[in-house]
Structure 1
Amino acid sequence: MTLHHAAGVGSQRAAGLYERSRPSYPMAALAALADALPLQAGRTAVDLGAGTGKFTRLLALTGAEVLAVEPVPEMRERLAALLPGVVVTAGTAEATGLPDGCADAVVAAQSWHWFQETDALDEVERLLRPGGALALVWNTYDTSVPWVRDFQDIFFRLAPRDLPSPPLASGIGDPDNRWRRSFEGRPGWGRVHERHWPNPHSTTVEDVVERMMSSSHIAVLDAAEQERVRADLESLLGAHEPTRRGGDIEMPYMTDVYWVRRR
């Protein structure tokens, strides 16, 4: 299996931080997606790049059978321990190892930007039954908030040039979401549907710092570079008025959900 270095090594080092510090997703987003795909008992959903199962556990609530695909062993181990009722398998989005036509829906939450999109779409088309759908989900920063823009600048300052990146902000009205281009001129797909929800995440300064430190391209840095990132973050957050009043902070996210159906 071929993985971007940051995804493979970073996720191995930071699997525990990833589970503790990352937000979940609004139940309203799950409900809308379950209705649209639909997801219910008797149907099967494949979760690509499932990680530690942040979205997998929500998919399981729909009653659908969930097949979670995750290439990083440390992530798979945590996912299997947290969700013993979910089938967890080693594989990539480009080569899942699952049988042809096994899925009514394929979902990628916070992961599609890591994939080789053409190869991943080939695999999705192989997995989907007629009329099945692909859903892409991201939690994105609300960069209309000034300090969040500064936070994001720290995040990308040390990113390698070839680092795949998720949408940098909510995709509302944004024609530049790069993943959309994969569907241009590709036969057999319908139009892209989308919905967006505020997803404020009540947390602490410590957890916000750990959220950053769990990011794949930062987790692969040497110890000295990681400490510089940590110091810059703590300085930024220390100047943020709500954190000076006790250390709690609300991280403003948006949850962006897109789905597209095979004709």
Structure 2
Amino acid sequence: MCCSPAFPQVRYARGHRVLLASARVTVHHAAGVGYQRAAGVYERSRPSYPMAALAELADALPLEAGRTVVDLGAGTGKFTRLLALTGAEVIAVEPVTEMRERLAELLPGVRVTAGTAEATGLPDGCADAVVAAQSWHWFQEEEALAEVERLLRPGGSLALVWNTYDTSVPWVRDYQDIVFRLAPRDLPSPLDDGWRKAFTDRAGWSRVHERHWPNLHSTTVSDVVERMTSSSHIAVMDPAEQERVRAEVEAVLAGHDATRGNAAVEMPYTTDVYWVRRR
């Protein structure tokens, strides 16, 4: 059985990293501080994932009763709750206290532990699969990959999952433009495809398998605005800056027929799923 000792909380910021007690482990400032402030909004305003994506991974990894999956950077448990439906034992790893507490409150049947992707505190060979949903781009890739290799049993798999905006829709494209324009230069992005190189250059992994699904999120204009304010680099802003961002987002939404004057709105995402197997 996997189990984890108590892991230190985020302590303080230096530069763009929030340092943990372990000298080799850091959490990006935007994630460490931003998600502390926005845990509730994050849970409320962000989409889940298509059941088809879960079914694909459940077959591919596979996930079922008697197997163990570690969910890295689990946040408030958006994907964790789906993993639990497979019958596998799920261990959720989340470094940000506020996110972790929210996850434990929402999913009392799931084991939740403090830790990072680079230092989970879990035993060697404790997992049949490791999943990172909406989180791999935050990790220090070399250290995280070494930790995944340590956790996986022979033949185990790693899955990476992201919800990304469908920018073929004009108002969503304008919305994402705000996100990108306000992002600091060192902010990690799920749209950076450079993570693939780690698996082509590293022995012991299969080729990358991938599938993509449309993911239409039924929400409200108000929650679309809140979705912006829950973005890590927006959540770290002071209240006056956040209010300016809010006004800009509201102006974008008022400028498109699909969102102007509507209380309810469908926000289109694409769910991107990738998995690799340890040889």
**TM-score, length-scaled by structure 1:** 0.95
| Structure 2 equivalent of residue 59 of structure 1 | 83
Q: SS in structure 2 opposite 1:155? A: helix
RMSD, aligned α-carbons: 0.9
| Structure 2 equivalent of residue 163 of structure 1 | 187
User: C-alpha distance in 2, partners of 1:14/1:111?
Assistant: 16
User: C-alpha distance in 2, partners of 1:5/1:20?
Assistant: 22
Q: How many residues in Structure 1 have an aligned counterpart in Structure 2?
A: 255
Matched, 1:254 2:270: yes
The code of the aligned residue for 1:21 comes to S
Residue 238 (structure 1) shift: 1.1
| Structure 2 equivalent of residue 104 of structure 1 | 128
CA contact (8 A) 1:41 1:65 kept: yes
| Structure 2 equivalent of residue 170 of structure 1 | none
2:205 to 189, 194, 210: 189
1:139-180, Cα deviation, whole Å (9 max, x unpaired) = 01111122211111101212111111112xxxxxxxx61110
The code of the aligned residue for 1:184 comes to T
CA contact (8 A) 1:242 1:248 kept: no
Q: SS in structure 2 opposite 1:218? A: helix
| Structure 2 equivalent of residue 8 of structure 1 | 32
Query: Identity over the aligned pairs, expressed in percent?
Result: 82
1:54-100, Cα deviation, whole Å (9 max, x unpaired) = 00000000000000000000011011111111110000000000000
The code of the aligned residue for 1:217 comes to H
The code of the aligned residue for 2:159 comes to A
The code of the aligned residue for 1:185 comes to D
| Structure 2 equivalent of residue 173 of structure 1 | none
1:14-52, Cα deviation, whole Å (9 max, x unpaired) = 000000000000001000110000000000000000000
Structure 1 runs of 4+ with >3 Å offset: none
Higher RCO (CA < 8 A, seq sep 6+)? 1
Matches within 5 A, 1:40-51: 40-51=64-75
**TM-score, length-scaled by structure 2:** 0.90
Q: SS in structure 2 opposite 1:85? A: coil
Matched, 1:27 2:51: yes
2:172 to 143, 148, 160: 148
User: C-alpha distance in 1, partners of 2:266/2:84?
Assistant: 28
* Gap regions ≥5 residues in structure 2: 1-19, 21-25
* Gap regions ≥5 residues in structure 1: 168-175
The code of the aligned residue for 2:56 comes to A
The code of the aligned residue for 2:32 comes to G
User: C-alpha distance in 1, partners of 2:166/2:68?
Assistant: 33
